[in-house]
Amino acid sequence: MIKTLMKLFVSKEKLFEMMTYKVHSKKEISKVVEKVESACETYKFALLHSYVYHEVVESKGFPIERKVYIYEVCQAKVAALVLTDEPSFAPFMPCRVAVYEEAGQVSISTQNMEMMLDTLKDNTELYGQTNELFRTLKSLINDIK
């Protein structure tokens, strides 16, 4: 029912705007991606994996024009709390940060966790920790832009 209503009232652009936190950079993409590792250290995120995604899909026979980098980051303390209290969040973990070329600029984005995190309001500690993680992730993204 909600899915049908969303399709009626929300454009693709608005839906992506609601579901992601995105900023733009005036820097070259190479300058943005070279800051990711040190920003993870600064903001206390473990950088679990990184993908040069345009190379990944090219190696599978599907070259694309734009550069796309994806980073999987984690704060283990918060991850442990989430997985202990709300294992249904597992498909959304770890946090991902995407850096990509779009319309002549560099975009940096992650999943907008606000709606999901609002479901945790009954668990004060978990709600506080996960919201702090999201604030910190947004700071990291704004730092690398």
| Residue pLDDT, tens place only, 13-31 | 888 888 999 999 999 999 9
Say which residue the tokens 């946090």 belong to. 95
Per-residue pLDDT of the chain (145 residues; tens, 9 = 90+): 666 656 667 788 888 888 999 999 999 999 999 999 999 999 999 999 999 999 999 999 999 999 999 999 999 999 999 999 999 999 999 999 999 999 899 999 999 999 889 989 999 999 999 999 999 999 999 999 9
Task: Name the token pair of 107.
Answer: 């975009």
Residue 1 structure tokens: 């029912």
Sorted by where each begins, the domain ranges of the chain are 22-144
For the domain 22-144, what is the CATH code? 3.30.310.70
**CA–CA dist 106, 37 (Å, integer):** 18
